[in-house]
Amino acid sequence: MDSVLNDTFVWFAGLLRDLLESLGIPADYVTVLLLLVGAFVLATILLLSTFILIWAERKIVARIQDRLGPNRVGPFGVLQTVADLMKLVTKELITPIGADIIPYNLAPLLAVMAVVGIWAVMPFAPTFIGADINVGVLYTVSIGAIGTLGIMLAGMSSNNKYALLGAFRTVAMMISYAVPMVLALVIPVLLASSMGMSSIVEAQSNFSWFIFLAPVAAFVFFVSSIAEVGRAPFDLLEAESEIVAGFHIEYSGLKFGMFFVAEFLHAFTISALFATLFLGGWQGPYAEIYPVLGLVYFLIKTSLVYFVVIWIRASFPRFRIDQINSLNWKMITPIALGAIIFAAITEKLVQETGLNQFLAHATANVILIVIILVSLRLYASAARKAQAQKDELAIPVSQASPIE
Amino acid sequence: MTILQITFLIVALIAVVAALMVVTSPSMVHAALWLILTLGCVAVLFVLLNAGFLAVVQVAVYIDAIAIMIIIVVMLTRRAMSQDATQVTKTWWAAILVAATMFAALVLLFTLVPFIWEGPAALSMTGEAFLDELGESLVDVNRYILPFEVASILLLVALIGSITVALPLKIREKESGD
C-alpha cells in the first residue's frame, strides 16, 4: 500500500504492463500498446473535461456580467453543456457547395488534435508525464502551428468570403504573436538550462518559480499566448460583428462543436502551460513524496490561471486589427527581446560571480520595467506632439496666425 | 519485422506518394497541402532516427511557413483555388533546360570537389548533450559559425528588403529625396 501512495502512477503502469505480458504479448508490442492506451485515456479525459470547463467559464463570465448563467439543467446548471452537446449531435452536418471536401473535413480534426497534442508533454506530477522528450517546449510551439493550419484549412476550404477573411486574420495575428511567445519561452529554457518540460518544473523547486525570476517574460508569455489561441480580447478571427463567425462560419453540428471544444480546451491548455513554465507546475509541499499531491497542485495552479484568462475575456473589449499588430510589433516583441538579453546576461553573471540568483534577476527585471515605462512615456509625448502639430495645420487659413 | 521497420515503410511510402502529388496536383492550394504532408512524414522519419529536435523544428518551421505560403498563393496568383488550371506553361522546355543544366552542374561540382563527400563531423545523438553540442557547434569558430552567420545575414537582408518594398510610397520618396 505504501508503494501505491508513493508512486501511484508508476505502480499503475507496472500493473498494466504485468497484466499484458502475462497474456503472452511480446515486450516491445506491450510498450506500444501501453502508449496507445495512455494517449487514448488522456485525450478522452481532456475532451470530457471541456464539459466542466465550458460550464465554469459560462458561470464565471455570467457572474462578472451580473447575470446568473446556466442554472436550469442539473444542480447549478452543471449538465447544461451535456444538453448543448445533445443538441449539436442531432443537428445536420451541412457541407457548402464548392467546398474543398477533404481539407474541409480535416480542419476540425486538426484543431482538436493540436490542443490535445500539447498535453502529451505536460508534466502532471513527478512521475506522471506522457512523453518526457528533451525538446518539450519546442514541441508545444510546433503543435500550435498545426492548430493554425487547421484554422487556415477551415477558412480556405469553406468557399466563403467571411471564412477566408477569418483565415487571413489568423495569419496576421497568430503567426505574428508566435514570435513574442517563442521569445518568452526561451527564458524558462534559459533559467532551467533544459527544454524538457519536467526538467523545467524540477528547476523551480523551493518556490524559486520562474514568475519571480522573470516576471516580464511571464507577462509577455501570458499576453501572447492568449492572442495565440485567439481568445477575447484578441478574438477578431471570429469577430461576429465584422465577419459573422470567421473561419468556422460554414461548419454546423458536431464539426462546429469540435472547433468550440478546441477553443475552450486551448484556453485551459495555455493556463496549464503557464502554470508549468512559470508557476512551478506540480511543485509544492510534499509533492516529491506523494506524486498525487503534485497533480492536485498542478490543477489548482492551472485553474487559477484559467480564472484570470476568463476574467480578462469578460473585462476587455475586442482590439482592432491595427491595434493588435502594433501592440505586437511595437510593444510586446521588443519587450520580449529585451527580457531575453537581460535574463541571459544576469544568468551568466550569477554563474560567474555567484550572486544571489533571485536578487540579481529581480534587479534586472526592475531595470527592464523602468526602461519600458520610460520609453512608453517618451513615445506617448512624441505622439502627442505629432498630433498637436497635425491639429495646428488643420486650422483654416483665415484663423491661422500670419506666417513671418 | 519490428514495429520500427513497419512504421518506417508506411511513413516513407506516404512521403513519396505525397511528394509526387505536390508536383502533379492541378490546384495550387492542394499542392501546398500535399507538401505539408510530405514534410510531416519527413519529421516522422527524423523521430525514427532519434533526432527529435530536428523533427520538432521541421514541424514548427515548415508547417507555419506553408500556412503563410498558402495565403500568398491565394493573394498573388490568379485562379489559385480552381481545379482546371493547366499544368504546363509555354516555356516548359526552357524550364527543363535550366533544371537539367543545374542538375548537371551540381553533379559536376560534387565530383570535382572531393572533400564534400567527407561531410562535417557528426554530432553525438544522445538527449540533452546533443542539444548542447548543436548549440555550441553553431558558435564554434572551427565548425559551423560561418554558415550560421551567412544564413543570419541572408535573413536580415530579406527582412530589410521586405520592409523597403512594403514602405508606403510617400515615405520612400521623402527619404530618397532628402
Q: What is the pLDDT of residues A69-128, one digit of tens each?
A: 788 887 887 888 888 888 888 888 888 887 778 888 888 888 888 888 888 888 887 777
Best interface-test mutation with A: which of B126, B128, B163 has the largest number of A CBs within 10 A?
A: B128
Instruction: Provide the pLDDT confidence category of residue B13 given band limits of 50, 70 and 90.
Output: very high
What pLDDT does residue A329 have?
85
The residue of chain B with its CA nearest to that of A157 is B81
Q: Which residue has the higher pLDDT, B17 or B128?
A: B17
Whether pLDDT at A51 is above 60: yes
Whether pLDDT at B16 is above 90: yes
B3 vs A28, A133, A139: nearest CB: A28
Best interface-test mutation with B: which of A104, A146, A160, A197 has the largest number of B CBs within 10 A?
A: A146
Q: Which residue has the higher pLDDT, B51 or A185?
A: A185
Whether pLDDT at B154 is above 60: yes
Distance from B66 to chain A by nearest Cα, in Å?
Answer: 9
Cα dihedral A264, A268, A273, A275 in deg (nearest 10) = 160
Residues in A touching B18 (Cβ below 8 Å): none
d(CA B80, CA B71): 10
Distance from B53 to chain A by nearest Cα, in Å?
Answer: 6
What is the rounded average pLDDT of the residues B118-147? 70
* 3-state SS class at A146: helix
SS (H, E, C) A286-308: CCCCCHHHHHHHHHHHHHHHHHH
Grid cell in block for residue B52: 527529435
What pLDDT does residue A401 have?
56
Whether pLDDT at A12 is above 50: yes
Residues in B touching A138 (Cβ below 8 Å): 53, 56-57, 60
Distance from B120 to chain A by nearest Cα, in Å?
Answer: 24
A192 touches chain B (CB under 8 A): no
What pLDDT does residue A404 have?
46
What pLDDT does residue B105 have?
93
Which pLDDT tens digit goes with each residue over A248-276? 778 888 888 888 888 888 888 889 989 88
In this structure, of A122-126, A255-259, B15-19, B112-116, the range with the lowest mean pLDDT score is B112-116
What pLDDT does residue A1 have?
40
C-beta atoms of B131 and A195 within 8 A? yes
- CA-nearest of A173, A218, A227 to A339 is A218
Residues in B touching A178 (Cβ below 8 Å): 64
Give just the sign of the alpha carbon dihedral B47, B51, B56, B57.
Answer: negative
Q: Which residue has the higher pLDDT, A371 or A401?
A: A371
Distance from A311 to chain B by nearest Cα, in Å?
Answer: 30
C-beta atoms of B70 and A156 within 8 A? yes
Distance from A176 to chain B by nearest Cα, in Å?
Answer: 11
**Are the beta carbons of A268 and A307 closer than 8 angstroms?**
no
Whether pLDDT at B51 is above 60: yes
Residues in A touching B63 (Cβ below 8 Å): 142, 145-146, 148-149
**pTM for this prediction:** 0.82
B127 vs A134, A142, A146: nearest CB: A134
What is the rounded average pLDDT of the residues B147-167? 86
A196 touches chain B (CB under 8 A): yes
Which pLDDT tens digit goes with each residue over A292-351? 788 888 888 899 999 998 898 888 888 888 888 888 888 889 889 988 988 888 888 888
B59 touches chain A (CB under 8 A): yes
- CA-nearest of A181, A279, A302, A193 to A234 is A181
Instruction: Provide the pLDDT confidence category of residue A10 given band limits of 50, 70 and 90.
Output: confident
C-beta atoms of B63 and A28 within 8 A? no
Instruction: Provide the pLDDT confidence category of residue B83 given band limits of 50, 70 and 90.
Output: low
Pairs across A and B, CB distance < 8 A? 66
Match 481532456 to its residue by C-alpha cell. Answer: A46
Question: b/e map of A193-208 (b: 16 or more CB within 10 Å)?
Answer: ebbbbbbbbbbbeeee
Which pLDDT tens digit goes with each residue over A347-364? 888 888 877 778 888 888
A200 touches chain B (CB under 8 A): no
- CA A273 to chain centroid, in Å, comes to 7
A109 touches chain B (CB under 8 A): no
What pLDDT does residue A208 have?
78
d(CA B87, CA B74): 17
What is the rounded average pLDDT of the residues A193-201? 82
What pLDDT does residue B104 have?
94
For residue A125, list its beta bridge partners. Answer: A128
B53 touches chain A (CB under 8 A): yes
Match 484554422 to its residue by C-alpha cell. Answer: A151
Q: Which residues contact A106 (CB under 8 A, 6 or more apart)?
A: A150, A153
A134 vs B52, B59, B68: nearest CB: B52
Provide DSSP, A201-267: HHTT-TT--HHHH-HHHHHHHHHHHHHHTT-TTS-GGG-HHHHTTGGGTT--HHHHHHHHHHHHHHH
What is the rounded average pLDDT of the residues A216-244? 79
What is the rounded average pLDDT of the residues A228-233? 79
